[in-house]
Amino acid sequence: MQVTGVRDFRSRATQILSGKDLVFVTKHGKIASLVVPMTDAAALPVELRHELLTTMGRSISAHLKEQGVSESKLLKDFKTWRKERHAAGR
């Protein structure tokens, strides 16, 4: 297990993320994040993967709602981006 501050994490992210230790990232002395090494995501139990995706989905949904972004706006923007990306590749 490793504990590092946000500033140190930013400057050494590649090194830290390639390690095998759990990393607690702190901000002003309080835990802000927990980084878990993932060598094989399929090794995580299905229940845990489901819980992680559900939690992330709720968090993203709440953030978008807070920013005033609707699902239809998001889909429209994505379709526009995809068309532009496809056109640029030709």
Same domain for 84 and 46: yes
Residues 6+ apart with CB under 8 A from 85: none
Domain count, the chain: 2
Q: How large is the average pLDDT for residues 7-20?
A: 92
Element (H, E) at 61: helix 46-66
Same domain for 29 and 46: no
Domain that holds residue 27: 2-35
57-87 pLDDT per residue, tens: 999 889 888 989 888 888 999 999 999 988 8
pLDDT at 21: 87
Please, which residues bridge with residue 30 across strands?
A: 27
Cβ(17)–Cβ(39) under 8 Å? no
Same domain for 50 and 29: no
Same domain for 20 and 49: no
Same domain for 73 and 48: yes
Alpha-carbon dihedral of residues 51, 38, 62, 48, nearest 10 degrees? 0
Same domain for 13 and 47: no
Same domain for 30 and 51: no
pTM across the whole model: 0.50
Same domain for 6 and 30: yes
Same domain for 78 and 47: yes
User: How far apart (Å, rounded) are the C-alpha atoms in residues 90 and 88?
Assistant: 6
Mean pLDDT of the chain: 89
